[in-house]
Amino acid sequence: MAQSKRGNQPKVKKKKPVKKAAPKRDDLRPALTETAMTVAGRDGWAAATLANIAREARVKPTEVEALYADIWDILADALDEIEDRTEAEVKDYLGDSWRDNLLEILMARFDFAQDFRPALIALPAFAARHPRHSRHFAPRLYDTMERMLYLARLPEERISPLAIAAFSLIYLSLVERWSKDETPDLSPTMAAIDKRLGWFEQALGYIDKAHFPPARKAAQKVKAKARKIKNKIKTAT
């Protein structure tokens, strides 16, 4: 470094430390969600209190309380994360076959659920002891199943309440199969998905026959009328 005219070393100005902006509250959500699911999976859901989550995440309890009312709120965020990651993963690979699309969606969903596996496996027993809170997740299950069917590009006229209910039963049976699957690649779960989608496809056939949308009813009437006209022409000739 060059000297000054007086022969003294030039003074180097000290840089003031840059103050980092405090993270926004919403920026804490992913970290708190992961921490909560870690605590629940390791120590049980009863231990996943807001205070314990704050301690594990090394944040102030008030920061957690500002975002969540209880562990059920955090659970909702965890399930939202699985849904959002699944949709982001598969949306560019979906084709014309709703069954193939649904296969991809379910495979991705269970793959992402592995991140929270211990907590999710322990959840049903905990939820059974807290029916007042867990009952709010029944409408959520319905909405999630409906969202999956739309994402899979099942024709809109086939996505009826009965079809969503049938798919919900299929999905719950797959969750049970996944919870018992200890293989690293989840191959038994993947095989079960393919098999149960066959069941759902059969169920849709019965549902379609029992529950015709207005447009399909109109088409059936037109076909029936056309058949009557053809029969009259045949008998007349």
26-51, pLDDT tens digit by residue? 589 999 999 999 999 999 999 999 99
Residue 2's pLDDT is what? 44
Measured in Å, how far apart are the chain's first and last C-alpha atoms?
112
Highest mean pLDDT among 105-109, 133-137, 233-237: 105-109
The residues, any chain, with a CB within 8 Å of residue 153's CB and separated by 6 or more, are 94, 96, 98, 101
6 pLDDT tier (thresholds 50, 70, 90): very low
Structural domain spans, the chain: 78-211
Please give the model's pTM, rounded to 2 decimal places: 0.76
Residue 160 has pLDDT above 80, yes or no: yes
DSSP string covering 69-113, please?
Answer: SSHHHHHHHHHHHHHHHHHHHHTTS--S-HHHHHHHHHHHHHHHH
Between 17 and 60, the higher pLDDT residue: 60
